[in-house]
Amino acid sequence: MSKIKNSRVLVTGGAGFIGSNLLERLLKQDNEVVCLDNFSTGKRENIIEFDKHKSFKLIEGDIRDYKTCKKAVTGCDYVLHQAALGSVPRSINDPLTSNEVNVSGFLNMLKSSEEAKVKKFVYAASSSTYGDHPGLPKVEDKIGSPLSPYAVTKYVNELYAKVFSDIYEINTIGLRYFNVFGRKQDPNGAYAAVIPKFISLLMQKESPIINGDGSHSRDFTYIDNVIQINQLAALADDKANNTVYNVAYGENTSLNGMVDILKDLLSQYDKSINLVKIVNGPERKGDVKHSLADISKAKELLHYSPQYSFKEGIREAVDWYWNNYGN
Ligand SMILES: NC(=O)c1ccc[n+]([C@@H]2O[C@H](COP(=O)([O-])OP(=O)(O)OC[C@H]3O[C@@H](n4cnc5c(N)ncnc54)[C@H](O)[C@@H]3O)[C@@H](O)[C@H]2O)c1
């Protein structure tokens, strides 16, 4: 399995969920790692353990500032660009800020990476780019119209990356993440992702509210699969470059099925969690009904081989949340 070693890597959004997990792995593999983050949704506690690491450098700054991006990327071999404002509802409530960060900030990072002549610019794309396309499983070249401002921003990232790789000498890879979950994902706040939010509510014996009847399904993807593919993408040879890949496990689970598994696993720590009632609320604007990835392109061109199914990953995640947030 390809691993990034003895390199200098910039992880933007390194204080966030995915970024901090990438940082941790890269430091273990003897890399010098630069983290650029403005802590808007990321947390200091996610990176506090790396503070004293001699190969770790934190730049507290904003990707909306071009000079900051230039400073952060100087001397780096690879960029793993994760910084963005996630969440469909957040982008519906405040499309202007989502656009500034996810589009202008992205462009700043792309341009500064091109000027710094990095070996590869790997960026977090999103399954939301499939929008209203009805096809299942989702195949990279068949996308529909975006269903939210967030989806627009993530699609614009792909367009810019393609144009840059055509015009300038920069190699890019976009990773369309499908509902990533795992350790360090924020369970709190209005825009928390469904898995950590539900684990947290169940641990407090409060009822999670499912938007809709729970038949919606997602290709929930464990963080370690995402760490693997970021490294494969960074090290991939020319024929795999300048395109986008689905990042998922390739199986979908309904929201109802996911909650049942969470209750089962958490009841092993506290039996009464099994009695917590699940509530159904109205459907949410901008949500797609089903999401399932075809991962054959990533398997073929990047040699991606996801090690964790949803069931394997969720066990690890629940264990981590219980140890960190449980009683
Ligand atoms: N988690 C998922 O399921 C998922 C799915 C699809 C795509 N993505 C994408 O993956 C990336 C990482 O997502 P995550 O789940 O780790 O989110 P996160 O919110 O935990 O991490 C994002 C990080 O970016 C930082 N950031 C935000 N705006 C910034 C700015 N202007 N300047 C510098 N730093 C800034 C935040 O402080 C945070 O640390 C994002 O680009 C997101 O859109 C995530």
Ligand 1 closest atom vs CA 105: 31
Residues carrying an active site annotation: 150
pTM listed for this prediction: 0.98
Q: What is the pLDDT of residues 69-120, one digit of tens each?
A: 999 999 999 999 999 999 999 999 999 999 999 999 999 999 999 999 999 9
Please compute the mean of the pLDDT values over residues 230-258 and round it to a whole number.
98
Q: Is 15 in the pocket of ligand 1 (CB under 6 A)?
A: yes
Q: Is 39 in the pocket of ligand 1 (CB under 6 A)?
A: yes
pLDDT bin (cut points 50, 70, 90) of residue 246 is: very high
Query: Using an 8 Å Cβ cutoff, are 258 and 199 in contact?
Result: no
* pLDDT of 187 over the 80 cut: yes
* pLDDT of 33 over the 70 cut: yes
* pLDDT of 1 over the 90 cut: no
Q: Is 196 in the pocket of ligand 1 (CB under 6 A)?
A: no
Please compute the mean of the pLDDT values over residues 1-16 and round it to a whole number.
96
What dotted CATH number matches 8-183+221-250+288-309? 3.40.50.720
Q: What is the pLDDT of residues 140-159, one digit of tens each?
A: 999 999 999 999 999 999 99
Q: Is 64 in the pocket of ligand 1 (CB under 6 A)?
A: yes
Distance 12 CA to ligand 1 centre (A): 9
Q: Write out the H or E segment, with its range, that includes residue 120.
A: strand 120-126
CB atoms within 10 A of CB 120: 20
Please compute the mean of the pLDDT values over residues 207-217 and round it to a whole number.
95
Burial string for 191-218 (b: 16+ CB within 10 Å, else e) reads: bbbbbbbbbbbbbeeeebebeeebebbb
Please compute the mean of the pLDDT values over residues 280-307 and round it to a whole number.
92
pLDDT bin (cut points 50, 70, 90) of residue 167 is: very high
Please compute the mean of the pLDDT values over residues 244-270 and round it to a whole number.
97
Please compute the mean of the pLDDT values over residues 249-274 and round it to a whole number.
97
Ligand 1 binding pocket mutation candidate from 25, 38, 127 (most atoms within 8 A of CB):
38
pLDDT bin (cut points 50, 70, 90) of residue 286 is: low
Give me the residue label for tokens 């910084």.
83
Q: Write out the H or E segment, with its range, that includes residue 166.
A: helix 149-167
Ligand 1 closest atom vs CA 86: 43
pLDDT bin (cut points 50, 70, 90) of residue 327 is: low
Q: Is 179 in the pocket of ligand 1 (CB under 6 A)?
A: yes
The pLDDT score that the predictor gives to residue 173 is: 98
Residue 52 one-letter amino acid: K
Q: Rounded distance, CA 136 to CA 183, Å?
A: 29
The pLDDT score that the predictor gives to residue 159 is: 98
Average pLDDT over the chain reads 96
Please compute the mean of the pLDDT values over residues 181-202 and round it to a whole number.
96
DSSP codes of every residue in 37-55: E--SS--GGGTGGGTT-TT
The pLDDT score that the predictor gives to residue 2 is: 87
Residue 148 one-letter amino acid: S
The pLDDT score that the predictor gives to residue 288 is: 82
| Residue 193 DSSP one-character state | -
Residue 43, judged by CB atoms within 10 A of its CB (0-12, 13-18, 19+), counts as: middle
* pLDDT of 258 over the 70 cut: yes
